[in-house]
Amino acid sequence: MIPLCHSTELPEGQSRSFTVNGLALMAIRQHGLAHVYENHCPHRGVRLDWQAGRFLDQSASMIQCAHHGALFLIESGECVAGPCSGDFLRQHPCIEHDGSIWLQSLPQRDS
């Protein structure tokens, strides 16, 4: 397992950015669960955030791409509104253990 951060560094309703193995990732906590996705919008293949670590819409209930406003479900990464509707963010499975968030495997660019 690959350590990502301490659990307290990802409070409820917050998001953070990380770089692991050269790959840009984002983590969001919703309803107590941490979710990790690649920071890569399926619309244009660019990072979703203009400000590092800011990935959520105003209500903090959806992931929002800063470029053209695509909205993604936090729990699945599915785009439900915007130019890439129906596409998914690439999820990286994680678990919480011993007060930390861990990736289950090293993220690879093309796996």
Provide CB contacts within 8 A for 21, sequence distance 6+: 106, 107, 108
- Closest to ligand FES by CB, 37 vs 102, is 37
47 in contact with ligand FES (CB under 6 A): no
Among 1, 12, 21, 44, binds ligand FES (CB under 6 A): 44
Q: How far is CA 17 from CA 35, 50, 80, 101, in A?
A: 12, 11, 22, 13
- Closest to ligand FES by CB, 2 vs 66, is 66
To ligand FES, the closest distance from the beta carbon of 84 in angstroms equals 6
| Consecutive H or E run containing 30 | strand 23-30
Which residue bears the tokens 């090293």? Answer: 106
- Residues from 1 through 40 that contact ligand FES (CB under 6 A): none
In angstroms, rounded to a whole number, what is the distance separating the alpha carbons of residues 46 and 9?
A: 25
81 in contact with ligand FES (CB under 6 A): no
77 in contact with ligand FES (CB under 6 A): no
To ligand FES, the closest distance from the beta carbon of 41 in angstroms equals 3
In angstroms, rounded to a whole number, what is the distance separating the alpha carbons of residues 90 and 56?
A: 16
**List of residues contacting ligand FES (CB under 6 A):** 41, 43-44, 46, 65, 67-68, 70, 82-83
